[in-house]
Amino acid sequence: MRARMRRYWAEAVEPRLFLFAQLREVPAGLTAMIAVLNVVVGLLPVGFVVATSTVISRAPDAVSGGLGSPAWRELTYAFVVASVLFLLQQQLTPLSVSLGQRLKHQVDGRFQDRLMAASLRTAGITPLEDQASLSNLEQAAEGLEKGNRTPGDAAAGTLALVLRYSRLLGFLGVIGVAYAWWAAAAIGVVTMMFRYGQRGGVRMYTRLWPHRTRYRREAEYFRVLGMGAENAKEMRVFGLADWVGERYRSAALEALRPVWRERRRVSVVNFVWFTAASLVISFLVLASVLRAAAAGDLSLFALTLTLQALVAAVLLGEFYHEADTATQFGMLAARAMDTFERQVSDLADNERRTGRTGSPAPTDPGGLPTREIRFAGVSFTYPGASAPVFDGLDLTLRAGECTAIVGLNGAGKTTLVKLLSRLYDPPAGAVLVDGCDLRDLPIDGWRRQLAVIFQDFNRYELTAGENIAFGAVEAPATSDALRRAAKEAGVLEVLEGLPDGLDTLLTRRHADGEQLSGGQWQRLAIARSLYAVAAGARVLVLDEPTAALDVRAEAAFFDEFAALTRGITTLLISHRFATVRHADRIIVLSGGRIIEDGSHVELMAAAGTYAHLFDLQARRFAEDDAGAAVEVQP
């Protein structure tokens, strides 16, 4: 029993208290206005019941007395009052709903701002990749994205309960005054038993929510896979339609089966007892009322009033569509966002800690590095992973050189980029820039020194010019600078051929938008990094920068690229050794450690891992008459 009470407190009371605290998100005046209005709207039916009971009780005397008699006038007054109360209810109920919607949108707007701020608060991306925080983020964002079951719905639903329960209290008060307070208490118990059962069913869904998350995600994935235009070609060519449909069906059923089991228990077993007990109590109260009326202890007015209030009070044990689901799931979303904010806050506090290694940091990292970037004893493991990516890595990138990183998948190449750009901080060791711990440098200032092309670079559904200018948002985006970067990346001619040139929207979502090919998008990303270099970035990071280009285009690009980036500290990650061979220095990673280090000539002479991989790839290529590499059949 004690465990059941603790669970009830945790599931029903604590979330409600938490939700009331969230009402601080909106002006207190609006909340108070809705609460008062809902009390009034809640009590109007009580007044209507009193007025109609008066009409019924005065009807016999009014008929006997005829028109103009005192009884007729009393009946007329009561009828007018009942009509006014009815009309007021019809007018004020929509107003209450409208103000509730206004409250919902205000609360959701504040929560949306908080969610966006929390998502962008940390300098790194840990909250967006760690499963614990990501789960809370998804739960908080799901309702806001779909527009239902949101914190705003929960806030509006909570105030809507004021209307329902003020009405219930009004009817119980009528029963107590017109007949007996024990009867009012008994009917209150009946109504709240049904309410407990209704809310218990909703709480059941939320209790099962964590167990259903995996299957809900899987079902949603296969639903999007089956309906997405980008997947349509392979789906049809490989005949995957039936398979995807079946996977969606099986995942959806796995998500629903525990709900069905628990719903049978809650809806059938519990409600059988609730209904049986409620019928017995209601029958005893009703029998007592009728017996008192038969004995002459109740007037017609009191009898009519008691019966109407009794029926109306019991009917208030129903499911409240405007409040029950909204408050329960909206509370989950609000609680998930509160938890996500605390997780982000902890991570942000972690990021603000000063580095323990290196020289005093300059307040302005502009122009860095002048000597080197060093990964000193760096260890790193991704959140939720068991095996470390790096365990005591020591690596030095000399300023002004182009250093290429090669290795098999999973060697840690892209992780280096994430650590260098402070998307993650190493829990052990440090990244030093000219001897300064990277964590001690102003992060915005340091990132202005970086020009990064990630392997999975963003394709912004904005204009071509904006896609380039994002490389240095702090710099004024002049047409000449944008065109120069596009020309250096070899994409200017393509962009000028678009309907509106660099002002063309790059998306198919708009009628006047255009789409680029994969290779053209990659050149646009390269233009973005070159624009950053022109704006003052001193470190260029290229993570598979030419994966979408053919071999000939790649060779021509790097011939020009070397001249454009001379003197810039460049970190190049690529699987194409025809590109890597031009680097000043080549580092081979394996298992998070450096196994080879040297120039192309030195590593080929060493006849180690690099030479072996180079030879394997070189067999696929030959030179044409112009000396350019072309792919051939082995």
What secondary structure does DSSP assign to 53-87, as a single string? Answer: HHHHHHHHHHHHH-TTSHHHHHHHHHHHHHHHHHH
Minimal CA–CA distance to 620: which of 563, 570, 576, 583?
Answer: 576
Quote the pLDDT of residue 360: 65
Asked if residue 278 is part of any domain, the answer here is no
Query: 355: which DSSP letter?
Result: P
Q: How many CA atoms lie within 13 A of 302 on its CB side?
A: 14
d(CA 572, CA 404): 4
d(CA 174, CA 156): 28
Quote the pLDDT of residue 334: 82
d(CA 474, CA 148): 38
Q: Which residues contact 392 (CB under 8 A, 6 or more apart)?
A: 377, 378, 379, 428, 429
Say how far residue 393 (Cα) sits from the centre of its chain: 35
pTM of the model: 0.72
Residue 561, Cβ density class (10 Å: 0-12 exposed, 13-18 middle, ≥19 buried): buried
Q: What is the DSSP string of 451-495?
A: EEE-TT----SSBHHHHHHGGGTTS---HHHHHHHHHHTT-HHHH
Q: What is the DSSP string of 567-623?
A: TSEEEEE-S-HHHHTTSSEEEEEETTEEEEEE-HHHHHHHTSHHHHHHHHHHTTEEE
Asked if residue 305 is part of any domain, the answer here is yes
d(CA 78, CA 561): 91
Asked if residue 476 is part of any domain, the answer here is no
Q: Give the count of beta carbons closer than 10 Å to the beta carbon of residue 71.
A: 17
What burial letters (b/e) apply to 269-285, b meaning 16+ CB within 10 Å? Answer: ebbeebeeebeebbeeb
Query: 377: which DSSP letter?
Result: E
pLDDT (tens digit per residue) in 38-69: 999 999 999 999 999 999 988 888 888 888 88
d(CA 226, CA 245): 7
**Low-confidence spans in the chain with pLDDT less than 70:** 1, 3-4, 7-16, 19, 22-23, 25, 205-206, 209-210, 267, 269-270, 350-361, 546-560, 562, 619-634
∠ at Cα 347 (341, 349), nearest 5°?
A: 100
pLDDT (tens digit per residue) in 305-315: 999 999 999 99
Asked if residue 567 is part of any domain, the answer here is no
Question: Could you tell me if residue 487 is left (phi over 0), alpha (psi between -120 and 50 degrees) or otherwise beta?
Answer: alpha
Asked if residue 566 is part of any domain, the answer here is no
Asked if residue 68 is part of any domain, the answer here is yes
Instruction: Supply the range of the domain harboring residue 148.
Output: 14-114+126-179+298-348
Minimal CA–CA distance to 566: which of 554, 558, 575?
Answer: 558
Q: Which residues contact 567 (CB under 8 A, 6 or more apart)?
A: 400
pLDDT (tens digit per residue) in 545-574: 766 666 666 666 666 676 777 889 999 888
Asked if residue 472 is part of any domain, the answer here is no
Quote the pLDDT of residue 628: 46
* Whether the Cβ atoms of residue 630 and residue 621 lie closer than 8 Å to each other: yes
Asked if residue 323 is part of any domain, the answer here is yes
Tally the domains of the chain. Answer: 1
Minimal CA–CA distance to 274: which of 331, 326, 314, 228?
Answer: 314
List Cα–Cα distances, 309 to 195, 302, 470, in angstroms.
18, 10, 66
Quote the pLDDT of residue 537: 93
**Helix axes of 300-315 and 271-294: crossing angle, nearest 10 degrees:** 170
d(CA 595, CA 608): 9
Task: Give the phi and the psi of residue 587 in degrees, each rounded to 5.
Answer: -120, 130
∠ at Cα 115 (111, 120), nearest 5°?
A: 150
Mean pLDDT of the chain: 85
